[in-house]
Amino acid sequence: MASAFPIEVKIFMKKRQNVIIKGTKEGLTLHLNDDCSFQELKDELDEKLSANERDHEKRPLIPVKLETGNRYLSEIQREELKSLVRQKKNLVVDEIESNVISKEEAEKTRRENEIISVARIIRSGQILEVQGDLLLFGDVNPGGKVIAGGNIFIMGALRGIAHAGCFGNKQAVIAASIMKPSQIRISDLINQTINRVRNDDNHEMECAYINHQEQIVVDRLQGLIHIRPDLTRLEGGR
């Protein structure tokens, strides 16, 4: 009886795969079991990748996608897996996909996707900063500044500084009823002079965005429909 037990376990462990490798058109996808310990996972990963290892010296890099299921990986653990894979000659981790994110990340995503509305005049010397989109009912006066992780919509006059996409989002736009900024920034681009797509002074609402030439330009608000269709968030709204 006692001698049979370890054999049974061994069979069981053989059955249960912690790492399943699948080849796709894009490269390899590794499905990682989310039930075992992280150490077990690493061991098996190392083992399996080594088994598959051939002499690929001259072959191009194969992108690898890791699917971690419901396992939450810390930044350190992600790096560990990446370097483990990278050690296998021509493999490189392209993407790590997980069903779970930390509360903190969820909070951050929520903040970055939120539209914050503010009814106020941003006066000289004042700074208003939001993580997501900003909807301002009021003016930004000369010497005042608004900063947003996302887009900036000003129902009023922009005469000061506006910085949209401050975390690097180049798709971010700035719209204002009166576009007379002292400076416009989108992502890491800065414009002191305003490049207008048109040269009429219609007193229409205008918007600023980064065009294909990587320049900030100002156009009629209506142009946004074509340039940034993603601004529509209504499901099935297009």
Partner 1 sequence: MGEAIVITSGKGGVGKTTTSANIGTALALQGKKVCLVDTDIGLRNLDVVMGLENRIIYDLVDVVEKRCKPHQALVKDKRFEDLLYLLPAAQTTDKSAVTPEQMKTLINDLKQDYDYIVIDCPAGIEQGYKNAVAGADKAIVVTTPEVSAVRDADRIIGLLEKEKDIEPPKLVINRIRNHMMKNGDMLDVDEITTHLSIELIGIVADDDEVIKASNHGEPIVLNPNNKASIAYRNIARRILGESIPLQPLEDQDKGVFTKLKRFFGAK
Residues contributing to the site for partner 1 (CB under 8 A): 121, 123-126, 138-139, 141-144, 159
Which of 132, 143 has the CB closer to partner 1?
Answer: 143
Burial of 157 (0-12, 13-18, 19+ CB in 10 A): middle
Quote the least distance from Cβ 182 to partner 1, whole Å. Answer: 11
Dist CA 4 CA 175 (whole Å) = 74
Least distance CB 153 / partner 1 (angstroms): 19
CA angle 226, 232, 236 (to 5 degrees): 110
Q: Which is nearer to partner 1, 36 or 121 (CB)?
A: 121
184 contact partners, CB below 8 Å, separation of at least 6: 161, 162, 163, 174, 190, 191, 194, 208, 216, 218
Q: How far is the CB of 156 from partner 1 (least distance, A)?
A: 9
Least distance in Å: CB of 141 to partner 1?
Answer: 5
Given the complex with partner 1, which of 144 and 165 has the nearer CB atom?
Answer: 144
Q: In the chain, at which residue ranges do the beta strands (DSSP E only) sit?
A: 19-23, 28-32, 62-67, 91-97, 115-119, 127-130, 133-137, 145-148, 152-158, 161-164, 174-179, 183-186, 189-191, 206-210, 216-220
28 φ/ψ angles, rounded to the nearest 5 degrees: -115, 145
Amino acid letter at 72?
A: Y
Q: Closer CB to partner 1, residue 160 or residue 165?
A: 160
- Strand partners for 183: 161
Instruction: Specify the residue, 19 or 122, whose C-beta has the smaller distance to partner 1.
Output: 122
Query: Between residues 88 and 159, which has the closer beta carbon with respect to partner 1?
Result: 159
CA 164 to CA 85: how far, in whole Å?
37
As measured in angstroms, the least distance from the Cβ of 178 to partner 1 is: 10
Structure token pair of residue 170: 């180049």
Q: Least CB distance from residue 179 to partner 1, whole Å? A: 16
